[in-house]
Amino acid sequence: HKDDEVVLIMNGVQGLADALRKSLKDTRERQEGKAQRGVIQGGRVRIGARSYPFKAVVDCSTEEGTLVWVQLSKGGTAIILGA
């Protein structure tokens, strides 16, 4: 066994859940602060397979189908930085 496998076996299901939670948190933290490309669809910003409510901090079009640059907030809102 590798060291990480032994740790997961020793910690059981709770250890696995903790490891998954940490991985998701780390991923979210890496994405915060990075501008991402999205498109406005159905009154929300779609980035890949996910969609987010949005707020615009610049004067730009927020019509359906508009491509925008956004930054995700900790609360899960897409902040529009530009189009």
Overall pTM > 0.75: no
Q: Tell me, what's the pLDDT at 1?
A: 46
Core vs surface per residue 34-45: b (16+ CB within 10 A) or e? eeeebebeeeeb
Task: Give the per-residue pLDDT at 35.
Answer: 86
pLDDT class of 64 with cuts at 50, 70, 90: very high
State pLDDT tens for residues 1-54: 455 554 445 456 676 667 667 666 665 555 556 888 999 999 999 999 999 999
